[in-house]
Amino acid sequence: MKVCVFAASSSGIDDAYKKAAEELGDAFARDGVHAIFGGGGIGLMGIFADALMARGGSVTGVIPGFMMSEGWGHDGVKDMIVTTDMSERKKTIFAMSDAAVALPGGVGTLEELTEVITLKQLGQFNKPIIIINVNGFYDHLIEFFDHMVRGHFMRLEHKDIWQIVTSADEVVPAILNYTGWHADPKVIARI
C-alpha cells in the first residue's frame, strides 16, 4: 500500500506535532506502508521521513526542481522524483497513492488537503483521506467545513469524504477499514 502524507515544512512548532509525525513514520514502517511525501528534509516532513527510514520503512519523495535547487530536499531519501512545478508534484503524488493523510501543516498542507478533497468530491480520487487532528489542530477547519454545509456550499454527504483521527496509530486501521464513500460522487457534486 502506498500512502501520501501532507505535512508541515516548519520546524519551530509544538512538540506534540513532531511526536505525531514520528509516530506516523513508526506506524508506516511497522505496517509496511510505502510513503509518498513532498520530499522535504525539515519540519514534520523531515521528522516523518526520518522516523520511517530509521525503522526500515520505504519512502518516495516528490519535489519540484526549484525546491531541490534551494537545498530543501531530504538528503536521506534515495527515491526522489523531481517535478517541474508544484502542480506536477501534486498530480504525481495523487496518482501514486492509495490513500492520503494530512498531518498538521501550513498553507501548503492545507492546499494539498483541500485539493484532494475536491478531487474526491468530483470522483477523481476515490481513496481514503485521513486527517490527523492532533491537539485539535484541525478543529477550526472542520468547523469551517461544517459552516460550508450549513450554508449549502457543500452537501452533508461531503463531510464523509474524509475521516478524522486524533493519533498516528489510528491511520493505518482507518485506511484498511475504509469501505468507500459514494458509488457515483458526480451525482452529488453539484449543490
Q: What percent of the chain has pLDDT over 70?
A: 100
CA pair distance 53, 165, nearest whole angstrom = 24
- Measured CA angle at 39 (ends 107, 120), to 5 deg: 55
- What is the per-residue pLDDT for 93? 97
Percent of the chain with pLDDT over 90: 93
State the virtual CA torsion across 159, 108, 120, 22 in degrees, nearest 10.
-80
Structural domains present in the chain = 2-177 (3.40.50.450)
Distance CA 119, CA 173 (A): 23
Q: In this model, does residue 94 exceed pLDDT 90? A: yes
pLDDT digits (tens, 9 = 90+) for 95-138: 999 999 999 999 999 999 999 999 999 999 999 999 999 999 99
Question: Which pTM does this prediction carry?
Answer: 0.95
Residue 183 has pLDDT above 90, yes or no: no
pLDDT, mean of residues 39-63: 97
Q: Is the pLDDT of residue 11 over 90?
A: no
What is the pLDDT, as a whole number, of residue 74?
Answer: 95
Higher pLDDT, 80 or 183: 80
Task: Please state, rounded to an integer, the average pLDDT across all residues of the chain.
Answer: 96
